[in-house]
Structure 1
Amino acid sequence: MRSPFRSLLSVLTSAAPAGLLAAAVAVWSVATPAHAEDHAKPAPKTATPKAEAQAKPGAKNGKAKLMLGSPMTKVRFSEPAYPLTDDGTYRSFMDKVLDEYGRRCVRQEQFGWEIAKDDQERLDFIFQGTMANYGRLGFLLGEIHPKSVTDPETIAFLADRNKERYLLVWTPLESSVLFMMCDTAAKDAKADQPKSAPKK
């Protein structure tokens, strides 16, 4: 089965702003996942995942740590990824998506992989392998097409398991791919928070 990202890199080579990869790679740092109790900063004017170029690294020593999988969903990636910090851009973007489905973000994580711009095979491996691992752990995956996602290369899914519902969003850049996820709850019901939500 062909990846939804097939032929993506050749399209993005001409479409992506110059210097975007370098700026995106600069924010890959040792970071813990953002939680609901963390107050996200206001999003920049461009509230899209590609605005991550404006975020600042979270690690002072600049040494990036690779993650084998998502601590939140317990799903292993097909290849280790860099955890990304959030300046509010990711949260703002995912909140807009979830608003269309009457849900809100409780916790979030975001990760990135560097990929050579012509390496379609590796891009497929990362995307397809990671999504297959969600299926292996019992997640029911359904692609969604929210109106707030205007980038045709961005792909969003709802991943359900038991009473948990996650938003998964893949956004490709020129020479990297970003994977954002959000643990969700019903927008108007605090009692509907997933069991995995941190307790205070």
Structure 2
Amino acid sequence: MSSNYSILSTKKLATAQKELLLNSGIGFVEYNAIEIELLDIEFNRDIACAIFTSKNAVKAIHNSDLNIENCFCVGANTKKFLEKNRQKVVEMAQNASELGKIIAKNYKNEQFYFFCGNLRRDELPLILKENKIKMEEVMVYKTHIKSKKFDRKFDGILFFSPSGIQSYISNNIMDTSTAFCIGNTTASEAKNYTNNIIVANKPTVENVIVQAVKYFDKRI
């Protein structure tokens, strides 16, 4: 199968992920729209409840001396990564708002530590604040925007975070490109620039690619 469609991935893909695109005959370009800097953990204590909304936060605490009893996280990949690092996950949600609502409903009397990045979204902290749930934020990584200008149009662009969209938009326009987003939070950011948005069924890189392949396969 071959097509004249082209896709830009705002994240460098693993070999198996690239094959999903190559097997479909869709041309693609990849680059890292953002760069993650893991920070040193400056405190050492026992934590009853910890919140993780990204794998980057889990990577940042990997070599620390933190003793965490219960983890609350966003996304199956983050859950898998936590469990791989021998952490106990008691709640998982598909997005930060959903996780905030679960905590507000079932864990009102707990105190939480939210391990996050410098560009973290407001949804979850606001829900916990509104419900008077104690939470301390701990910044454990920084997201750096790596802007790049493309002198061509792409039929589809794969986005994996709101900051990835901000990075792309800093030097390019969406024009007629379809934005394929890993989740609703990323899609909310994309709505600022386009109405051509498709959200993955599951918040995984593979599912974003599958949605793009299905979309363009119908148009060949």
Greater per-residue helix proportion: 2
Q: Which has the larger radius of gyration?
A: 2
Q: Which has the higher contact order (CA 8 A, sep 6+)?
A: 1
- Decide: shared fold, TM above 0.5: no
Smaller-chain TM-score bracket: under 0.3
TM-score when scaled to structure 2? 0.22
